Amino acid sequence: MSQKIRVAVLYGGRSGEHEISLRSAASVIRNLDRSRFEIVPIAIDKQGQWHLVDREFAEKEAQGSTLSIPAAALPVVLPPDPARGKGKAVFVSLKDGSVAATAEAVFPVLHGPLCEDGTIQGILELAEVAYIGCGVLASSVGMDKDMAKRVARDAGIPIVPFVLVRAGRWQKASQEIRAEVKRELGFPCFVKPVNMGSSVGVHKVKTEADFDAAMNDAFQYDTKVLVEKAIAAREIEVSALENREHGEPARVSVAAEIIPSHEFYSYEAKYLDDDGAALLIPARLLPEQLATVQQIAVKVFEALECEGMSRVDFFLDKVTGQFYFNEVNTIPGFTSISMYPKMWEASGLPYAKLLSELVDLALERHRRKLALKREK
């Protein structure tokens, strides 16, 4: 029997989405095809320390809905030492410098800043290992709502009108900015930190009088804040997956619709309220609407240089019927009830097969990259 491919599953992380990641990773570990893969569980605690977790322990825990990081887990690092790894990930014990584990591919099941934004991907690039999902560029552009919208706009993809505000300017010219927002966008508008997720720091601002408080709150999370025209919209999502044929357009799933029971799809609606939103898979769309949104999702995947996977989120204007690209999630939720795998399931690609595809795509990309010349 040929040897199994070792897949290091990275989970936890330093973002506010640490707990979601533990749930996503439990599902990933539970569903990875054991006939092909062996799991190497690597947990990143909230301080940023990486740990090798006992495999049996993680496998057992993954039968439930979430994972923990045992105090006894061995602290490890992944040094940027390609010569040592020879294409594999080599996790080194911080205790005695010995090799604690190796893996042929790394699956970052991490969400949010310092996880999904190209930083972890940068470490994996330096270590020269195969990893699942988007590279450094798409990860960081995808995390930055301002950059993602600018790139999409340049590719002719419809986006909601916005004004970008930097912290320095807000401190000096808040009155001028308020006037600009009133003139360009009007109220209600949405205020959001550029590099966050989970609706943290997102506000629907109904009147001019509420604008400053929303901005000040958003600036607690980031130095760039996006102010967007509020759209009376349905929220539609599509899962995109890199094509097996390199260079061909991404594969896209059926669409899903999120119907928040709150004023908008806020943090509370997402995580605190069990009935915070209804999730419809497939979304109730006309065939031509589905075709349109899938087409735009493919375009977004390409424009943002996505690789592997991405969930692409849209607004569908209830009045005009126009689709607007809202954001990409380059490492979407992977819990058993998460939209990305659910949409694939509804499109005929079961969870375990989806994971196998993602690993295969990562290994394939790694091979292609290693074959490139580095100098003349």
Ligand X SMILES: Nc1ncnc2c1ncn2[C@@H]1O[C@H](COP(=O)(O)OP(=O)(O)O)[C@@H](O)[C@H]1O
Can you give the binding site for ligand X, defined by CB under 6 A? 160, 190, 192, 196-199, 202, 228-231, 233, 235, 260, 264-265, 313, 315, 326-327
Which is nearer to ligand X, 159 or 349 (by Cβ)? 159
Nearer to ligand X, 233 or 355 (CB): 233
Contacts of 67 (CB under 8 A, 6+ apart): 11, 22, 23, 25, 26, 29, 41, 43, 53, 58, 61
CB of 97 to ligand X, least distance (A): 40
Whole-number minimum distance, CB 266 to ligand X, in Å? 7
CB 191 within 8 A of CB 202: yes
Whose Cβ is closer to ligand X: residue 232's or residue 370's? 232
State the nearest-atom distance from the C-beta of 206 to ligand X, in Å: 12
Cβ atoms of 120 and 126 within 8 Å: the answer is no
Q: How far is CA 321 from the centre of its chain?
A: 27
The answer to whether 256 and 281 have CB atoms below 8 angstroms apart is yes
Strand order in the sheet with 309-317: 277-280, 251-260, 233-241, 309-317, 323-329
Minimum Å distance from CB 147 to ligand X? 14
134 close to 124: Cβ distance less than 8 angstroms: no
- Sequence-separated (6 or more) residues with CB below 8 Å from residue 373: none
Residue 218 CB, nearest distance to ligand X (Å)? 11
Question: In this chain, which residue has its C-beta nearest to ligand X?
Answer: 265
| Residue 115: CB minimum distance to ligand X, A | 13
Q: How far is the CB of 270 from ligand X (least distance, A)?
A: 8
- How far is the C-alpha of 234 from the C-alpha of 259, rounded, in Å? 7
Measured from the CB atom, is 50 or 162 closer to ligand X? 162
**9 vs 200, which CB is nearer to ligand X?**
200
Nearer to ligand X, 69 or 231 (CB): 231
Closer by beta carbon to ligand X, 10 or else 189: 189
Q: Output the CA torsion sign for 81, 82, 86, 89.
A: positive
Q: How far is the CB of 201 from ligand X (least distance, A)?
A: 8
Q: How far is the CB of 234 from ligand X (least distance, A)?
A: 10
Of 18 and 192, nearer to ligand X (C-beta) is 192
Nearer CB in complex with ligand X: 43/191: 191
Q: Minimum distance from CB of 295 to ligand X (Å)?
A: 21
Interatomic CA distance for residues 222 and 205, integer angstroms? 18
φ/ψ (deg, to 5) at 234? -90, 150
CB closer to ligand X, 104 vs 117: 117
